[in-house]
Amino acid sequence: MSVFAHPEFDAHEIVAFHHDRDSGLKAIIAVHNTRLGQGLGGCRMFPYASDDDALTDVLRLSRGMTYKAALAGLKQGGGKSVIIGDPRTAKTPAMIEAMGRFVDKLGGQYVVAEDSGTNVDDIHRMADFTRHVGGLADEKATAAGRTGDPSPATALGVFYGLRAAVRHKLGRDDLRGLRVAIQGVGNVGFRLAGHLHAAGAELWVTDAYQPSIDRCVAAYGARPVAMSEIYGLDVDVFAPCALGAILHDRTIPLLQARVIAGAANNQLAEPRHDHVLLERGILYAPDYVINAGGIIDIYYEGEHYDWATVDAHLQQIGGTLTRIFERSDSEHRPTGGLADRMAEEIFKS
Ligand code: NAD
């Protein structure tokens, strides 16, 4: 395993590895860029097949957070952490406490929040060992309806972004009858399904966890499909809301959807897949732009929390995406690369 020569290294400021013998914690924290502020990002827990896979994931996720914060208009840098292990079977309180101590060692250069495989309770537990946590609900925020879980804001932001993409590509404002395939109906995907259902869309869903599918079928009349079938459905929109690197040479040719708009981070397996989508006439809403709702929500936490302010900021996701789409059309350049250039203009200036 190489770090400085790793293809995803991209001038990271910090990459820290930690093993806690007592709890068995194995974790990596990556801080990409702190020029606009502290490196904020979630802690993902996942049973990675190898340490290399974990490193690749944390580097990509961390870099993505820098770009996300910049295009979301926040004074925040980018970071991320991963815990190696299955959150359903391997997570223990001692492990989460050790993660809190690990975060604290970086002295505030990294601020931890929840992500896939961790939850608000885990972040509260880490907060006993470090003050460098985000995404906690304090009293005022709770009174204003905030639970500390960023997923509702992420899902609403994805919904606004999906609506902007559909308006741009399909020329329609009315989502009634819009056919949407959602890959992964966990915290974000399930809530996105709720917004789409309320707007009159028809839903097809898949998940690696059968109870999550059942919940979506029961709540929104979604049609369940096998995991391998989700790409090739005759739908208008494909919404990846599970894991990254799912858009690649084998899946892109299967897609019938003309719009890709979903919450998952790092959806493109390689940057060149952005071009492949453009050439296939598929409009891709860059993942870190459309899924910025959670970080926007966390940004406003604390004593000034006010849902109307957060909602107004979430709606800007649609406007930012529309600017990217219009520039993509006029310059015939892929949306992902354009978003990167626009973000770099902000965090490198
Ligand atoms: P989650 O763990 O609650 O949900 C993910 C779901 O995907 C789970 O139900 C899981 O069983 C399912 N899944 C895993 N592998 C799958 C596969 N191969 N095919 C189909 N389903 C599969 O996570 P979440 O919080 O809903 O986040 C979903 C995605 O959105 C992640 O990539 C996350 O990084 C990203 N994201 C989340 C937030 C947030 O606020 N939670 C913010 C930004 C980005």
Q: Which CATH number fits domain 3-63+76-134: 2.40.50.100, 3.40.50.10860, 3.40.605.10, 3.40.50.150?
A: 3.40.50.10860
CA of 115 to the centre of ligand 1 (A): 8
208 lines ligand 1 (CB under 6 A): yes
What residues does CATH 3.40.50.720 cover in the chain?
A: 151-347
Residue whose CA is at the smallest distance from ligand 1 atom 8 = 186
Residue 140: per-residue pLDDT: 53
Summarize the confidence of residues 210-220 as an average pLDDT: 98
3-state secondary structure of 159: helix
Residue 142: per-residue pLDDT: 62
Summarize the confidence of residues 210-239 as an average pLDDT: 98
Does residue 228 surpass a pLDDT of 80?
yes
Residue 137: per-residue pLDDT: 63
1 lines ligand 1 (CB under 6 A): no
Rounded to 10 degrees, the C-alpha dihedral 338/340/344/345 comes to 20
List pLDDT tens digits, range 36-80: 999 999 999 999 999 999 999 999 999 989 999 999 999 999 999
The strands making up 110-114's β-sheet, listed across from edge to edge, are: 14-19, 26-33, 77-84, 39-46, 110-114
Single pTM value for the model = 0.87
206 lines ligand 1 (CB under 6 A): yes
Residue 333: per-residue pLDDT: 97
Does residue 93 surpass a pLDDT of 70?
yes
Strands (E), 68-109: 77-84
Residue whose CA is at the smallest distance from ligand 1 atom 35 = 264
pLDDT more than 90, % of the chain: 88
Instruction: Identify the weakest region by mean pLDDT among 208-222, 299-313, 314-328.
Output: 299-313
Cβ-Cβ contacts under 8 Å for 196 (sequence gap 6 or more): 159, 162, 175, 178, 180, 203, 220
Residue with more model confidence, 134 or 311: 311
CA of 331 to the centre of ligand 1 (A): 33
CA of 348 to the centre of ligand 1 (A): 30
3-state secondary structure of 206: strand
Question: Quick count: other Cβ atoms within 10 Å of Cβ 210?
Answer: 9
Summarize the confidence of residues 300-322 as an average pLDDT: 91
How far apart CA 260 and CA 252 sit, in angstroms, is: 11
Does residue 139 surpass a pLDDT of 60?
no
- Determine the atom of ligand 1 nearest the C-alpha atom of 189: 26
Q: Quick one: pLDDT band at residue 1, thresholds 50, 70, 90?
A: confident
Does residue 6 surpass a pLDDT of 90?
yes
Q: What amino acid positions are annotated as catalytic residues?
A: 80
CA of 153 to the centre of ligand 1 (A): 14
Residue to substitute in 147, 149, 162, 187 for testing ligand 1 pocket (most ligand atoms within 8 angstroms of CB) = 187
Asked if residues 320 and 71 have their Cβ atoms less than 8 Å apart, the reply is yes
Q: Does domain 151-347 have CATH number 2.40.30.110?
A: no
What residues does CATH 3.40.50.10860 cover in the chain?
A: 3-63+76-134
193 lines ligand 1 (CB under 6 A): no
- Determine the atom of ligand 1 nearest the C-alpha atom of 244: 32
